[in-house]
Structure 1
Amino acid sequence: MKQGQNKVTKENLLQWIEDYSWMIESIKEERQPVAKVDNNSYIGAKTAIYGIEATLPKASGGTSDPVFIEVQRRVYSSHKRIREYEIKVVEVQKRIPLVQGDREIEVLHRLLNGNSMRAIGKHMKLSSTTIFRIKINIIEQMLKKYVL
Structure 2
Amino acid sequence: MDHKELENVISDYQWLKREVARLEELLWGIGGVSGGSKSIGVAQYGIEAAMPKGSKGISKAELDKLDRREKKILTRIEKYKNMIEFVELGEESLEDPIQQTVYSCMMAGMSYRAIGKHVGVSREKVRQLRDEVINQLCQNCHFCHSWQYLKYKKQTV
Q: TM-score, normalised by structure 2?
A: 0.57
The change in CA–CA distance for 1:124 and 1:25 in structure 2 (over 3 A counts) is same
1:119 aligns with 2:110: no
Which of 4, 7, 11 is the matching residue for 1:11? 4
1:20 counterpart residue number: 13
- 1:98–1:141 contact (8 Å) kept in structure 2: no
After superposition, where does 1:127-138 map in structure 2 within 5 Å?
127-138=122-133
Q: Encode CA deviations 1:61-116: one digit per residue, 9 max, x unaligned.
A: xxxxxxxxxxx887554333333322322222222222121211111111111211
Aligned to 2:79: 84
Say how many residue pairs are matched. 105
Residues 74, 115 of structure 1: alpha-carbon distance in 2 compared, 3 angstrom cutoff: farther
Tell me the TM-score normalized by structure 1: 0.60
Q: Identify, as 1 or 2, the structure richer in helix.
A: 2
Q: Hey, what's the Cα distance between the residues in 2 that align with 1:127 and 1:95? A: 24
Contact 1:96 1:142 in 2 (8 A): no
1:1-148 matches, within 5 Å, as: 8-32=1-25, 33-34=28-29, 75=70, 77-146=72-141
Q: CA deviation at 1:142?
A: 1.4
Partners of 1:85 and 1:34 lie apart in 2 by 18
Q: Which runs of structure 1 show a deviation greater than 4 angstroms over 4 or more consecutive aligned residues?
A: 72-77
Structure 2 contact 11–108 (Cα < 8 Å) conserved? no
Amino acid at match of 1:120: I
Question: What secondary structure is seen at the aligned counterpart in 1 of 2:95?
Answer: coil
Larger Rg: 1
2:14 partner amino acid? S
Secondary structure of the structure 1 residue equivalent to 2:12 = helix
Q: Name structure 1 gaps, 5 residues minimum.
A: 1-7, 36-71
Q: How many Å separate the matches in 2 of 1:73 and 1:26?
A: 19
1:76 and 1:117 map into 2 onto residues whose CA distance is: 39
